Amino acid sequence: MDRLKKIFKEKSDELKVEVKSLLKEHGGKKVDEVTLRQVFGGMRGVKSMVWTASNLDAEEGIRFRGYNIPQLREKLPTRSNDNEPLPEGLFWLMLTGELPEADDVRWLSDEWERRGAVPQHTYDLLDSLPDNTHPMAQLSAAIVSMESESVFSARYAEGMSKHDYWDATYEDTMNLVAKLPRVAAYIYRKSFYGNDQINPDNRLDWAGNFAHQLGYDDPKFRSLMRLYLTIHADHEGGNASAHTTHLVGSTLSSAYLALASGMNSLAGPLHGLANQEVIKFIFEMLEELCTDDPSKEQIAAFVQKKLDSGKVIPGYGHAVLRQPDPRFMTQKGFAERNIPDSKIVNVVWNLFEVVPPILEGLGKVKNPWPNVDAHSGALLVHFGLKEYTYYTVLFGVSRALGVLVSLCWSRVLGFPLERPKSVTMDWVREVIK
């Protein structure tokens, strides 16, 4: 058993005992009440699942196993000559609850490198798709095609005991995370560089190697990828991509099928696709105003025009957060440290000043502040990655870390098939009488 799996097993054995006795003694305890508004309103805030990897506070933002992003930047191992955390370290932390040592992270980089080969039929499938297939649709199709390699599905077909589900899911998770950057980079080079593919560089870490295979070898871009793939990894369990992965996984679909479903969910413009919509919005604004340095007054007028035409301002608002997203602020910090004079980044910072008061003025937007997607595109554009239809794939590669860790935990804790209750309008009319 490998070193990470061993720690995960030990931790999960402890937690299993705790959960069993907790449910035996307190299983009937009420933890929430549901209002009619929540029933009609996308189940906002309804407490309905356990998610060990991270927790989201409306005011404070995300904490991964208790650590906020500034603490992660301080405590997770880094690559020499870089200050940004390695996503390998976050994966280790989310799975075990323990901060890894530098040597643990090196081991994990090597392990993912060892498991990274992508089946030829996945490349063939991608090659067969029309050029106008959205990169997120390509990612989803590629993940489904790799299901042929699922350890879970193979062992299940052979009659695996339910006590071994966690082990097979761990194997699928490690293999999938290892393969994702190669598949994602293949999609990028195929879609935008005439299928001129770049071989991995085995001396690099997971994120650095991804940057390299995309075709970007600027050390600052590698550094950005390490930070980017860390901060997008998880946002507790209720967001659409996490919840979708959880729901599909609860049917005992393999990690491949569950993750592909989560990616389909991430591909919606109210969720992960907002990162492409933000930069599209900015490009459109700059083109219309015929400047790359619009004034705040010009930006305000453009934002107002969008709102008047019945559109949302992408990158602003959140279902849970009620403050500027710490993931936005972290990216802002990266830009201030590394590329303070970038014009496109400056536009993002001006939007940050202009948009919140306008949204507040509408009187209905619960959170007028920027979310993670408001900043990421401008950083990518600065380094030359301008093909914005690809942006959500980057988000997806990162999000896989959190949702797959949680799938491992769901399997080891034996979470059952998810099946909430729906109601009819007749029931609603009856209940309010």
The dihedrals phi and psi of 47, each to the nearest 5 degrees, come to -80, 115
- The yes or no reply on residue 372 touching ligand HAX (CB under 6 A) is yes
How many residues of this chain bind ligand HAX (CB under 6 A)? 21
- The yes or no reply on residue 177 touching ligand HAX (CB under 6 A) is no
Say which DSSP state 123 is in: H
**Binding window for ligand HAX (CB under 6 A); candidates: 12-20, 65-73, 139-147, 371-379:** 371-379
> What x/- string results for residues 269 through 298 when contact with ligand HAX is judged by CB under 6 A?
-xxx-x------------------------
Of 143 and 313, which has the nearer Cβ to ligand HAX? 313
Of 123 and 316, which has the nearer Cβ to ligand HAX? 316
Of the candidates 24, 163, 364, 421, which one interacts with ligand HAX according to CB under 6 A? 364
Q: Using CB atoms, what's the residue nearest to ligand HAX?
A: 317
- The yes or no reply on residue 365 touching ligand HAX (CB under 6 A) is yes
- The yes or no reply on residue 373 touching ligand HAX (CB under 6 A) is yes
**Binding window for ligand HAX (CB under 6 A); candidates: 81-89, 213-221, 369-377, 417-425:** 369-377
Say which DSSP state 149 is in: G
- Residues 238-252 as b/e (b if ≥16 CB within 10 A, e otherwise) read bbbbbbbbbbbbbeb
Min. distance of Cβ 284 from ligand HAX in angstroms? Answer: 15
Of 57 and 113, which has the nearer Cβ to ligand HAX? 57
* Helix, strand, coil distribution of the chain in percent, nearest 5: 60, 5, 35
Of 109 and 239, which has the nearer Cβ to ligand HAX? 239
Q: What is the CB neighbour count within 10 angstroms for residue 254? A: 24
Of 179 and 318, which has the nearer Cβ to ligand HAX? 318
> What x/- string results for residues 220 through 259 when contact with ligand HAX is judged by CB under 6 A?
-------------------x--------------------
DSSP labels for 223-287? Answer: HHHHHHHHHTS---S-SHHHHHHHHHHTTT--HHHHHHHHHHHHTSTTTTTHHHHHHHHHHHHHH
Min. distance of Cβ 330 from ligand HAX in angstroms? Answer: 14
Of the candidates 191, 230, 253, 371, which one interacts with ligand HAX according to CB under 6 A? 371
Min. distance of Cβ 303 from ligand HAX in angstroms? Answer: 9
> What x/- string results for residues 302 through 321 when contact with ligand HAX is judged by CB under 6 A?
----------xxxxxxxx--
- The yes or no reply on residue 366 touching ligand HAX (CB under 6 A) is yes
Residue 222 identity (one-letter amino acid): R
Helices (H), 129-239: 135-145, 151-157, 165-192, 206-214, 219-231
Cβ contact 368:316 at 8 Å:
yes
Q: What is the 3-state secondary structure (H, E, C) of 279-320?
A: HHHHHHHHHHHCCCCCCHHHHHHHHHHHHHCCCCCCCECCCC
Residues paired with residue 56 on neighbouring β-strands, in sequence order: 62
- Which phi-psi region, left, alpha or beta, contains residue 35 (left: φ > 0; alpha: ψ -120 to 50)? beta
The dihedrals phi and psi of 278, each to the nearest 5 degrees, come to -60, -50
Contacting positions for ligand HAX (CB under 6 A): 239, 270-272, 274, 312-319, 359, 364-367, 371-373
